[in-house]
Amino acid sequence: MTKTDLKSLLNGPSLLAEQAYLAGHWVDGDEGTFEVTNPARGDVIAHVADLSRAQVAKAIAEAETAQKEWASWTGKERAAVLRKWFDLMMENQHDLGVILTAEQGKPLAEAKGEIAYGASFVEFFAEEAKRVYGETIPGHQRDKRITVIKQPIGVAASITPWNFPNAMITRKAAPALAAGCAFVARPAELTPLSATALGVLAERAGIPKGVFSVVTSSNASETGKEFCENPIVRKLTFTGSTQVGRILLRQAADQVMKCSMELGGNAPFIVFDDADLDAAVEGAIMCKFRNNGQTCVCANRIYVQAGVYDAFAAKLKEAVEKLKMGDGMEEGVALGPLINASAVEKVQTHIADAKAKGANVILGDSGAPQGPGYFLPPTIVTGATKDMQFSTDETFGPLAPLFKFENEDDVIAMANDTIFGLASYFYAKDLSRVYKVAEALEYGIVGVNTGIISTEVAPFGGVKQSGLGREGSHHGLDEFLEMKYICMSV
C-alpha cells in the first residue's frame, strides 16, 4: 500500500496529515521528515514532520497561553466543543480506521472499533466536563468556613504507544481538555498519522489554537526530556512499557511532576474445571489475539485446571485454526501483521525458549509466510512451565502458552507471581469461587467470564509495576485536576 493507494482509499484525503499540528498551525519539522511504513507490505505510506526539541518547547509555551483562556470557559462550553470532536470522529470513522490499519496493521474492522472506542472517551468526558464538583466542609472553629474546589492542573503532555494510536491519545486528551487543561501529544514514531488526523478533526471541531497540539518526532527521548524538564508542563501521562515508564518517572522526579503511567502487563487467563469451556475458548481468542496479541491486557499466560486441560487445548486449537491471517485491509482477516521485525523476533524467541525447555507446539510456529510484511502464524504451546520466558516477560504477540494447574490456591499463587498487575481473567461458575478468586488476584482489572474488559466507563489501570493512576470513568478526570481548599474566617 503506497501513499497514493492510501489517499485513494479515503473519502476525505485531507485527514492524511504529514505535518505536525503545533498550536493550531500545520508545520514542517526542523529535523526534516521520518518515514511511516505499512507493516503488512513494508511500503512507505508517509513522510511525517520531524520536530526539534525547540519546536516541542514552542508547542508547550503556546499551550500555557491558550490554557488560561480555555480554563475560563464553562464546563458546558468545553463540553460542546468536545462533543463536536466526538461527532467528527464518528462521521470519519471509516477514514480514521483506514489510516490506522495502514500505519499499525490491525484488521480494518478492529481499527474502526478502536476509533469508536477512542471516540467514546471524548463523548464520556464531554459529559463529565460539566461535573467538576467541589464540596463544603463544616468549619473546625465557629468562625471558619471551608470550601474545596477543583481546578485544571495546567499544561499536560502525553507519550503514547503504537498499538492503539487513536484511543491511547483520546483516553488522555479527553479528560484533560474536559478539565480545562491544554494538551501536547507526542505519538509513537511508528504510528503518527492517527494522531495528526485527530489534530485535523480537533481544528474542525473548534478546539482553540494551542489547546491541543500533536508534536510528531523521531526522537522520543528528546521529546520526553522536554516534557519532563520544561517547568510549564505540570502533568505527564504515558502509556507504554514499564521500562520506559521508569525512565520517565526518574526524569519527572526532578520537578516532582504529577504522572499517570499505563505500563506493561502479564495477564493470567484462568480456566477452572467448572467453566463453560466454549465460552472460555471464545474469551481466550478475543483476549489473546485482539490486535494480534499486541495489547497490554492480552492474556500472556493461560492456566487450565487439570480436569479440563486437554479438552480446552483441543477446542482452542480448533478455534484458532479458523482465524484468517493477512493484510488488515482484506475482508475477513482476523490477524494482521505485527508492528515490525523486532516484534516478530520477540515472539519467536519466546517460542524457541519454551520448546527448548520442554513445551509442545500444538499449532503454529511454522515459518512466517514469504514476502513482505511482519506476519507470524498464531501459536499454541502446551506443557508451559514457570521457568519459560513468557512466564515473566510480556510476549506482545500471537503466542498462547497453556499451563496446567491442580487447585485454586496454586493457580492464584502462580497468577500473582509477577511484577505486573494490570489485567487478569478467569472463567468459573461457582459464586463463592468467583468472589474469592476475584479478591485474591493482585491486578487493577479482573475479567470474570469475559475476555474483553475495555470500556470508557470503568477506571482502567494497573497495580505494582503496571502503572500509576486510572484512565476512563469519572476517576479519569481527577488525573487532570488539582484540589484546593479555601479556609475563610467569617
Ligand X SMILES: O=C(O)[C@H](O)CS(=O)(=O)O
Decide if residue 166 touches ligand X (CB under 6 A): no
Site membership for ligand X, residue 395 (CB under 6 A): no
CA dihedral 136, 138, 142, 148 (to 10 degrees): -30
Candidate segments 62-70, 153-161, 323-331, 371-379, binder of ligand NDP by CB under 6 A: 153-161
From CA 146, how far away is CA 163, in angstroms rounded?
46
Q: Nearest-CA neighbor of 260 among 274, 275, 249? A: 249
- Given a contact cutoff of 8 angstroms between Cβ atoms, the answer to whether 183 and 213 are in contact is yes
Residues touching ligand X, count (CB under 6 A): 9
189 interface partner picked from ligand X, ligand NDP, none, CB below 5 to 8 A per type:
ligand NDP
Which region among 121-129, 187-195, 299-307, 473-481 touches ligand NDP (by CB under 6 A)?
A: 187-195
SS3 366: coil
454 binds, among ligand NDP, ligand X, none (CB under 5 to 8 A by kind): ligand X
Number of residues that bind ligand NDP (CB under 6 A): 26
Picking from 133, 159, 138, 12, the residue whose alpha carbon sits closest to that of residue 75 is 133
User: Quick one: which of 120, 163, 242, 300 contacts ligand X (CB under 6 A)?
Assistant: 163
The strand pairing partners of 150, in sequence order, are 483
When CB distances are held under 5 to 8 angstroms depending on the partner's kind, the choice from ligand NDP, ligand X, none that residue 157 binds is none
- Contacted entry of ligand NDP, ligand X, none for residue 123, CB cut-off 5 to 8 Å set by kind: none
Decide if residue 66 touches ligand X (CB under 6 A).
no
Sheet holding 144-152, edge to edge: 135-137, 144-152, 481-489
The neighbouring-strand residues paired with 484 are 149
Q: Taking CB within 5 to 8 Å according to partner kind, which of ligand X, ligand NDP, none is near residue 434?
A: none
Cβ neighbour number for residue 375 with a 10 Å cutoff = 22
Task: Check: CB of residue 211 under 8 Å from CB of residue 70.
Answer: yes
Q: How far is the CB of 171 from ligand X (least distance, A)?
A: 7
Phi, psi torsion values for 403, nearest 5 degrees: -100, 140
- Residues in 194-213 at the binding interface with ligand NDP, rule: CB under 6 A: none
- For the bound state, the minimum distance from the C-beta of residue 244 to ligand NDP, rounded and expressed in Å, comes to 4
Nearer to ligand NDP, 39 or 161 (CB): 161
DSSP for 132-183 reads: ---EEE--SSTTEEEEEEEEE--EEEEE--SSSTTHHHHHHHHHHHHHT-EE
**According to CB under 6 A, which residues from 222 to 261 bind ligand X?**
239
* Residue 331 known to be catalytic: no
Please give the Cα distance from 97 to 110 (Å, whole number): 8
Chosen residue from 454, 465, 466, 473 binding ligand X by CB under 6 A = 454
> In the bound complex, what is the minimum distance in angstroms from residue 377's beta carbon to ligand X?
22
Site string for ligand NDP, 386-405 (x = CB under 6 A): --------x-x---------
Name the residue nearer to ligand X (CB basis): 238 or 405.
Answer: 238
State which residue, 58 or 172, has the beta carbon closest to ligand X.
172
Of 99, 156, 296, 304, the one binding ligand X by CB under 6 A: 296
Nearest 10 degrees: CA dihedral of 170, 173, 177, 178?
50
Among 6, 99, 169, 188, binds ligand NDP (CB under 6 A): 188
- Is 161 near ligand NDP (CB under 6 A)? yes
DSSP state of 325: B
**CA triple 169-101-247, angle to 5 deg:** 40
Instruction: Return the DSSP state at 36.
Output: E
Say which of 114, 262, 394, 456 is annotated catalytic: 262
- Beta-strand (E) ranges in 250-407? 258-262, 267-271, 299-305, 360-363, 379-382, 399-405
Handedness of CA 407, 409, 316, 375 (dihedral sign): negative
Beta bridge partners of 33: 49
Cβ distance to ligand X smaller for residue 15 or 298: 298
Strand partners, 136: 147
> Which of 34, 121, 164, 272 touches ligand X (CB under 6 A)?
164
Q: Does 262 bind ligand NDP (CB under 6 A)?
A: yes
> Computed from CA positions of residues 167, 173, 176, 177, in that sequence, does the dihedral angle turn out positive or negative?
negative
Least distance between ligand NDP and beta carbon 194 (Å) = 12
Residues at the contact surface with ligand X, assessed by CB under 6 A: 163-164, 168, 239, 295-297, 454, 460
Residues at the contact surface with ligand NDP, assessed by CB under 6 A: 159-163, 188-190, 220-221, 224, 239-241, 244, 247-248, 262-265, 296, 394, 396, 422, 467
